[in-house]
Structure 1
Amino acid sequence: MTYRCTESTAPERRILVLAHAVPNFRGDTEWAPDDGFQCLVEDVEHTFHAARLRTGSGENTDVFLCWSPEGQWLMDVECCLKTRTPAGSSCTIYAGHPGRCEWAYMDPRQVAEQAMADQYLRDLYGRHGAPGARGS
């Protein structure tokens, strides 16, 4: 099973100043909730972390808050989820990403586990899941 990384951070003041300076040609800027930024990179061993901060300057881009032990920076890029990058191809956020991007797993671990269990039951028992399961 794959889950997102559990590392989180808060943007430094200088990063927020830079983020406000990124132009947005689409209109209103949509900011991520300010309740901590959890890494969206797959839960494989890595020291590079990334979390969506706001809409980006391009039609399909977002600004990501990136961090590592060396510090924080911004990237205005199109993420794998938007481009439907096939498994095994390169990640647009994390050059040299050691695993497959799992941007779909942005839920808390418990929600992701339940979704995976439900999918397993559907695969095992068919469209309606196990007899007596939720929703059957």
Structure 2
Amino acid sequence: MHSDGTSPTGTPAQQQLSALLSDLVARMPGTEHALLASGDGLRMAFTDMPIDDADGLAAVIAGFVSCARQQFRNYAGRTRQIVVEHDGGYLFVMSPGNHFKDEDAARSVLAVVGTPAAQPGQVGHEMEQFLGRVDEHLVLDARVTAFSGSGR
């Protein structure tokens, strides 16, 4: 159950991804939330946060990744991670990049929200490991649902 009283997102793929994201947060002291979004800013799966907050975070992180891609468009390689440090905590953003072969899945974006007690090195490592383990087909199934509007 999410903090706003709703059930986790509806499809089996979204529920499975949300459970994996919850496990990710549980492994990292000082983290509060995680979210997987499409590259164009639609939430696909998330941990315990209000849906409006998840929608807002999905849009923000997709924008961050888009800005980074634009800035480095003339350079070889990929943007590996974006970290925002604030007095209130951290926002870690990572895109799967080479972990997924499908272009739509590879454009998805993972975010973790942490408190000031979060350990950036551990969070970055765990996010990288998560992206290496998660099944790209789950991500694609969640993306299809996000675009169809049937996931909640």
TM-score computed with the length of structure 1 as normaliser: 0.35
Specify which structure has the bigger relative contact order, considering alpha-carbon pairs within 8 angstroms and separated by 6 or more residues: 2
More helix by share: 2
